[in-house]
Structure 1
Amino acid sequence: MEMIVLVIAASTALSAFVAIGVGRYRAGKSSSDHNSVLGYFFSSVGAFYSFLLAFVVVNTWSSLTSAQTNIYEESSNLPGMYYNVSVFPDEHRIALQTTLKAYAHAVIDHEWPAMDRGEASPEVNRLLEDLRRQVLAIQPQNPQQSALYGAMLGHMGKLAATRRVRLNQAHPSIPTPFWIGLIGGGVMLIGVGMGFHAPKIWMHVVLMAVLALVVSSSLCLARTMDHPFHGGIKVPPTAFHIAIRQMGESP
């Protein structure tokens, strides 16, 4: 978060500094025709760039929201399996319930820091395999157990599927060349704005600083949201804390 604030502040300050230099260089010069020509170009380029930037921000926000929804869907399978296995013999019930709690803790303690680096946790991989093996080892003995066993298989499949989605969402969805184009477009837009002539230097400085602030903050916001498990707006493992409490244990 400190780096984001530094980038926004630096870009805003640099734009203001350059605008002061440009304003002093053009002091006393008339540029009404010059402003008229630049105005049409700036309007066209600015409209296109703002549409592109808005699309990126909306897309990254949608990805962040989708990651949050997927996490709650994944974690909800744990209490479901935990209580479905309660009708089975203790040899299966105790082992599976213990592994379910260990899985939730491992996701919080190991996989969340690993996803910050775009990786998966070997410990969670191992526990997921243990869950599969323990579920498949159960043999239903009556209609009630058969019904709950079918539900457990459904939860097991959803747990694995939603985890795969979560690990995939730990990687940025917008490619690097696209970011290069966005940053380059923002620099060009500010550069064109520097060509305008204002009656007062301070007016031009304020306009350029505001433009740089809006462009840089929007880019930084989109970049942060493109990494749902990294940075200042990363998704917390709150859903797994809730699942642990639902399984009767303090998170």
Structure 2
Amino acid sequence: MTLALFITAVLVLIAVVGQVFTHKMVRQDNLEPSQGMVEAMLGVVGTLFSLLLGLLVANAIESYHEVNVQVSTEANALANIHRLAEGLNPAARQSIQDMCADYNHCVINTEWAAMDKMEMAPHCWDVYGKLWSACVQVMPTNDRENNLQASMLESAKILGETRRGRSVACRAQISPVLWTAIFFGSAITIIFTYFFTSKMGRLHTLLTALIAISLGLNIWLLAAYSQPFGSDLKIKPEIFELLDKQVFKYQSPKPGIDNLKQ
């Protein structure tokens, strides 16, 4: 919430200072003849900008939820590989299940913190690659094992697709051009409120501050939802932690996994 408070406080400060300064520099009598024009233009500008900002926030929220679903799908695919490996011969089963547990521990203890810095853990990529190879190299000896391998490969495919999607999402940023448009749109909307006349100066100032607060909260929502792994609303590895307790509870990570560096 620190970013939200900062953005909102800055906008409110600029809005209030600008409004007070404008009313000191421009006489109310000079503003009255232009009230109709100011109101009409603010209606156009305010509507256009509110639509733009609203669509951006809605799209960011939708993308955020899609990434959240991808994270759950990735964890479920990993759990499926682990479960399906139970039908293989002891050597293959142990190897694949150990790699599944290793991957899960790496995601929780190393990669999630790295994604806050828009990075992915190299060790997790290595484990993912080895897990793929292990699934491909399974040598079925009967129809049952053929079916098991086919299902494992499908789960490994989903694991890879969702992992790559998470890799892209953790590096997502709003372009400087878009931030510039949002800045000028907010500034223009607030500036238009300066040129309304009112005999109740404090009420005018309060209403201007409320408009700035509304803009600030929407801008914060856009910024927060646009960074699903690096904001105040960042997605947490709860699904992987659940797997750690329910699926991998009898397996321990390889020595040193919790101390891996990026």
**TM-score w.r.t. length of structure 2:** 0.90
Cα offsets for 1:42-76 (capped at 9, x unmatched): 00110100100100000000111001000001110
CA distance in 2, matches of 1:121, 1:128: 11
What are the residue-to-residue correspondences of 1:200-211 with 2, within 5 Å? 200-211=200-211
Q: Which amino acid aligns with 2:40?
A: Y
- Displacement of 1:28 in angstroms is 5.7
CA distance in 1, matches of 2:28, 2:187: 27
Which residue number in structure 2 is paired with residue 39 of structure 1? 39
Is 1:194 the counterpart of 2:220? The answer is: no
CA distance in 1, matches of 2:174, 2:43: 26
Q: Which amino acid aligns with 1:178?
A: L
Which residue number in structure 1 is paired with residue 131 of structure 2? 131
CA distance in 1, matches of 2:131, 2:28: 77
Which residue number in structure 1 is paired with residue 80 of structure 2? 80
Is 1:243 the counterpart of 2:240? The answer is: no
Q: Which amino acid aligns with 2:192?
A: V
Unpaired segments ≥5 residues, structure 2: 253-262
- Displacement of 1:82 in angstroms is 0.8
What are the residue-to-residue correspondences of 1:1-251 with 2, within 5 Å? 1-26=1-26, 29=29, 31-172=31-172, 174-249=174-249
CA distance in 2, matches of 1:227, 1:217: 16
CA distance in 2, matches of 1:178, 1:13: 23
- Displacement of 1:32 in angstroms is 2.5
CA contact (8 A) 1:24 1:201 kept: no
CA distance in 1, matches of 2:7, 2:53: 18
CA distance in 2, matches of 1:109, 1:28: 62
Question: The residue matched to 2:29 in structure 1 has which SS?
Answer: coil
CA contact (8 A) 2:81 2:152 kept: yes
CA contact (8 A) 1:60 1:225 kept: yes
CA contact (8 A) 1:15 1:212 kept: yes
How many matched pairs?
251
Q: Which amino acid aligns with 2:176?
A: T
List 4+ stretches of structure 1 deviating above 6 A. none
CA contact (8 A) 1:78 1:243 kept: no
CA contact (8 A) 1:82 1:97 kept: yes
- Displacement of 1:185 in angstroms is 0.8
RMSD of aligned Cα (Å): 1.7
CA distance in 2, matches of 1:192, 1:28: 15
CA contact (8 A) 2:31 2:195 kept: no
Q: Which amino acid aligns with 1:44?
A: V
Deviates more, 1:166-175 or 1:136-145: 166-175
CA contact (8 A) 1:45 1:189 kept: yes
Question: The residue matched to 2:234 in structure 1 has which SS?
Answer: coil
Question: The residue matched to 1:199 in structure 2 has which SS?
Answer: coil
Q: Percent identity?
A: 21
Question: The residue matched to 2:229 in structure 1 has which SS?
Answer: coil
- Displacement of 1:233 in angstroms is 0.5
CA contact (8 A) 2:28 2:197 kept: no
Q: Which amino acid aligns with 1:47?
A: T
Q: Which amino acid aligns with 1:151?
A: S
Label 1:163 to 1:28 Cα distance change in 2 as closer, same or farther (>3 A): closer
